[in-house]
Amino acid sequence: MGLWRRRSREADVRTESREAAARVCGGRVPGAAVGARPAGIASVRAPACGAERRRHGASQRKGDLLSSPNRHGGGSAGFRSGGAARPGAGRRAPAGHKRKVYGQNFLHDRQAVADLVAFADPGPGDLVLEVGAGEGHITRALAAVCREVTAYEIDGRLARGLRRRLDGVPNVAVVQGDFLRADPPSEPFSVVANIPYGITSKIIRWCLEAAHFRAATLITQLEYARKRTGDYGRWSLVTVESWPEYEWRMGSRISRERFRPVPSVDSATMRLERRRRPLLPPDRIDDFRDLAALGFGGVGGSLHASLSREFPARRVAAALRAAGVPRDTVVAFVTPDQWIRIFRELW
C-alpha cells in the first residue's frame, strides 16, 4: 500500500469521527442487498474495481483514487457488513427508530432542491445516481431534466414509498440497497444527492474510484464542504492529492431549518468535477500524490520541514520560492496550485 493511500484513509477516519460527533443522527447502516431494477431500465452495473495500483507498477484504470479493501464499511463501528438492515433482531423496532439508525435528514425546502439541481446542471442525456433518495423530492426534480435517475435508498419502507410515488415516472429506477456496495455504471455518470454526513468520505472515495465518474454535487455538512474546497483558507490532503484530476467547488449554504428532522449543524452544496484535461500527465500523478502525502505527513511543522526529510533543503527552498510559498508556511495553507508548481520544481 502506498504512503499517500494510507495517510488518506487515516485522515478520512479522523474527519468522520469529528463529523459524527457533531450531528444529531448516525450514519446509515449498510448491509441491505441491492434490489432488482424496475423493468424497462437498462442495467447500470459494471465489473468491480481492479487491484490496487502500485506507484511504479502496472497501470490501473484512470479513475482509481483512494482505493480501499474495506470501502463498504464492513467491520467499522456503526456499520454492518451484511445481514438485515432493520434495527433490532426478532422484535419490532419502535416508531421512528429506523429513521434515527439510518441518519436521514430530509430536505423539504423546494428552493434548496432547485438550487442543488441547478448547481449540478445535468444535461438531458445524463445518467445521474442519487444516494439516499428518501422521500423523492430531489429524485423527481432530477428526473425532469436528465435522461435517467438511479435512486438508491437503503431503508426498505422508504424505498417502497418511492416506488409508489414515482411509479409514473419512466426514467427513474429505485434501488433498495447500499449505494457503497453497488458497482459503478459502465458509462459516464454523475452523482447528485443529499447524503448522510457520517459516510461523506466513503461516498467521495466510491466516486473517485469509478472509471466513468464525471461529477458529484452533494449536500454535506457545512464544515466538510468548507474544508474540502479551501473556504477556510486551509486545504486538506484529499483535495490536494486529487487536484490534478478533479476540481472542488463550494456552493451555497443551507440552513439546518430546511431539513426534517432538524440536524444540529448547517449544510452546504459542494461539487467535485473531473477535469477535461488533467493538470499533470497521467504517469506523474502517483508521484504527485506521494509528494503530497510526504508534505502532510509532518508533525505540526512547515511544508519546508516536511519535504526536507526526503529532498535537499536547498532544493525545497528554491521550489517554495518558485511557487510563492514563504519558507515557514504550514502545510495546510499551501494551495493545490502551489503544490503542483512545487512538484514540477522538485520532481
Binding-site positions for S-adenosyl-L-methionine read: 105, 107, 132, 153, 178, 194
**pLDDT interval class at 254 (50, 70, 90):** very high
Residue matched to cell numbers 488518506: 8
Q: What is the largest CA-CA distance in the chain?
A: 68
The alpha carbon of residue 185 and the mean position of all alpha carbons in its chain are separated, in whole angstroms, by 16
CB atoms within 10 A of CB 257: 11
Report which of 75, 49, 69 is spatially closest to residue 212, judged by C-alpha positions: 49
- Record the cell numbers describing residue 122, joined without a space: 445535468
Residues of the chain with pLDDT > 90, as a percent, come to 67
Question: How far is 321 from 311, CA to CA, in rounded Å?
Answer: 15
Predicted pLDDT of residue 55: 37
Q: Return mean pLDDT, the chain.
A: 79
**pLDDT interval class at 299 (50, 70, 90):** confident
Give the pLDDT confidence of 100-133 residue by residue, as tens digits: 445 668 999 999 999 999 999 999 999 999 999 9
**pLDDT interval class at 99 (50, 70, 90):** very low
Question: How far is 31 from 101, CA to CA, in rounded Å?
Answer: 13
Question: How far is 106 from 195, CA to CA, in rounded Å?
Answer: 10
Binding-site positions read: 105, 107, 132, 153, 178, 194
**pLDDT interval class at 9 (50, 70, 90):** low
Predicted pLDDT of residue 89: 34
Question: Which range has the worst mean pLDDT, 86-95, 145-154, 220-229?
Answer: 86-95
pLDDT at 171 exceeding the cut of 90: yes
Residue type at 334 in one-letter notation = V
**Is the CB of residue 33 less than 8 Å from the CB of residue 177?**
yes
pLDDT at 38 exceeding the cut of 90: no
- Record the cell numbers describing residue 172, joined without a space: 427513474
**Is the CB of residue 213 less than 8 Å from the CB of residue 63?**
yes
Predicted pLDDT of residue 278: 98
Question: How far is 148 from 270, CA to CA, in rounded Å?
Answer: 22
Predicted pLDDT of residue 153: 97
Question: How far is 85 from 29, CA to CA, in rounded Å?
Answer: 6
SS3 labels along the chain: CCHHHHHHHHHHHHHHHHHHHHCCCCCCCCCCCCCCCCCCCCCCCCCCCCCCCCCCCCCCCCCCCCCCCCCCCCCCCCCCCCCCCCCCCCCCCCCCHHHHHHCCCEECCHHHHHHHHHHHCCCCCCEEEEECCCCCHHHHHHHCCCCEEEEEECCHHHHHHHHHHCCCCCCEEEEECCHHHCCCCCCCEEEEEECCHHHHHHHHHHHHHCCCEEEEEEEEEHHHHHHHHCCCCCCCHHHHHHCCCEEEEEEEEECHHHEECCCCCCEEEEEEEECCCCCCCHHHHHHHHHHHHHHHCCCCCEHHHHHCCCCCHHHHHHHHHHHCCCCCCEHHHCCHHHHHHHHHHHC
Predicted pLDDT of residue 301: 83
**Is the CB of residue 316 less than 8 Å from the CB of residue 346?**
yes
Question: Which range has the worst mean pLDDT, 70-74, 196-200, 286-290?
Answer: 70-74
CB atoms within 10 A of CB 189: 21
Predicted pLDDT of residue 104: 66
* Contacts for 87 with CB less than 8 Å, ≥ 6 apart: 29, 93, 97, 98, 101
Give the domains, in start order, of the chain with CATH numbers.
3-36+96-274 (3.40.50.150), 282-346 (1.10.8.100)
